[in-house]
Structure 1
Amino acid sequence: MKRKALFLDRDGVINVDFGYVHQPERCVFIAGIFDLVRLANETGHAVIVVTNQAGIGRGYYSEAQFASFMQWMSDRFAKEGATIDGIYHCPHHPDAALDAYPQSCLCRKPKSGMFDAARQDFDLDMPASILIGDKRSDMEAGRRAGVGHCFMFGSKDKSEVPKGALAIDALLEVSPLLNG
């Protein structure tokens, strides 16, 4: 039986986006994130992080530093009784400084490559799944991947929220959908 997922963008949804966050001392978690992930775990949703990480392609930090930071983040969630089931990242950027990271890829949001990989790895029911992102590119990637419920978090200008997505101001606003 296919599993529902809660897809989360990282910077701006899980943690405050200070720009290229890759060290624990620079991480400030968004209010409600641990409660949200615990609820998703309790309701049987796979919790999947899908994050563009252009800082890798630009040479600001390495894949190893990113992996170390995400392990720290996963451990922090575990201490709060919450589990992140999968982490997918795109290190590419159109202006990448490092030759090892081509400028064109299928994974960078708004493309759906990270979602498509998670769908295969976790046998996901995309129309029954939820995405919370903070950018139009998140919403577009979710739409392309067939995610049924897309929420744009924290947008000051509601006109920025694309058609087919809903604006939320608090992460736990999606709780009824997780419980349903």
Structure 2
Amino acid sequence: MSKAKPAVFLDRDGVINKDNGYVSQIDDFEFIEGVIEACLALKEKGYLIVVITNQSGIARGFFSEEQFHTLTEWMDWSMADRGVDLDGIYYCPHHSEEGQGEFKIECDCRKPKAGMLLNAIEDLNIDVETSILVGDKVSDLQAGIAAGVKSNYLVRTGKEITEQGESLASGVFDDLASLVKSI
């Protein structure tokens, strides 16, 4: 079996792109300044890049799973065109309270649960000891911690950083670019 690899788990809204609330259209997707360059630097350092994102907008009926896939494909290609190949994209379309139909379930994948990370760890042979999670809220950190990721960081480009977030985080950075410069 090949040696396990380090990965950087990135939340999407608030870390990769500006969180304008339930982003589902290409026109509404705006990369945060410096994200592409930061991802290139992570790749050069030998990290896999894995996106892990709650998408309760699907469960709530704000947009379809097909719309999510269209946007995700566009994001993936936009990053690839700039030299950043994502190694995995994992999403949770569920919400146990606000969801509709098949999406109104209590699942194992919605952060703060670790399901998306655990699937990626298994699928991509990721070494959690040397991996990093970057999110913009407490539930991101809780998922990383639950999956055994040793370094869990918050960035200030999304939700407001709470006291709980600061206490759980391995560190807090202005954005992904400043975090990458520190590692």
Same fold at TM > 0.5: yes
Find 1:142's aligned residue among 138, 141, 144: 144
> Could you list the runs of 5+ residues in structure 2 that have no partner in the other structure?
none
The aligned residue for residue 104 of structure 2 is 102
Letter matched to residue 91 of structure 1: P
**Cα distance change, pair 96–157 in 1 and its aligned pair in 2 (3 A):** closer
The aligned residue for residue 22 of structure 1 is 24
> Superposed, which structure 2 residues align to 1:103-122 within 5 Å?
103-122=105-124
Letter matched to residue 63 of structure 2: Y
With the length of structure 1 as denominator, give the TM-score of the two structures. 0.93
Question: Structure 1: how far apart are the matches of 2:112 and 2:21?
Answer: 19
State the secondary structure of the residue aligned to 1:167: strand
State the secondary structure of the residue aligned to 2:8: strand
Deviating more after overlay: 109-118 vs 157-166? 157-166
The aligned residue for residue 49 of structure 1 is 51
Letter matched to residue 71 of structure 2: F
Q: Return structure 1 stretches of 4+ with deviation > 3 angstroms.
A: 155-158
> Superposed, which structure 2 residues align to 1:1-180 within 5 Å?
1-154=3-156, 156-157=160-161, 159=163, 160-176=165-181, 178=183
Question: Structure 1: how far apart are the matches of 2:8 and 2:83?
Answer: 16
Cα offset for 1:4?
A: 0.3
* Aligned sequence identity (%): 39
Q: How many correspondences in the alignment?
A: 178
State the secondary structure of the residue aligned to 2:103: coil
Question: Structure 1: how far apart are the matches of 2:27 and 2:178?
Answer: 28
Question: Structure 1: how far apart are the matches of 2:61 and 2:38?
Answer: 33
Letter matched to residue 36 of structure 1: A
**Cα distance change, pair 23–164 in 1 and its aligned pair in 2 (3 A):** closer
Letter matched to residue 170 of structure 2: A
Q: Does the 8 A contact of 1:158 with 1:167 survive in 2?
A: no
> Could you list the runs of 5+ residues in structure 1 that have no partner in the other structure?
none
Tell me the alpha carbon deviations over residues 105-155 of structure 1, each in whole angstroms, 9 at most, x when there is no partner.
000000000000000000000110011100000000000001111111106
Question: Structure 2: how far apart are the matches of 1:166 and 1:177?
Answer: 10
Question: Structure 2: how far apart are the matches of 1:176 and 1:106?
Answer: 33
Question: Structure 1: how far apart are the matches of 2:107 and 2:100?
Answer: 14
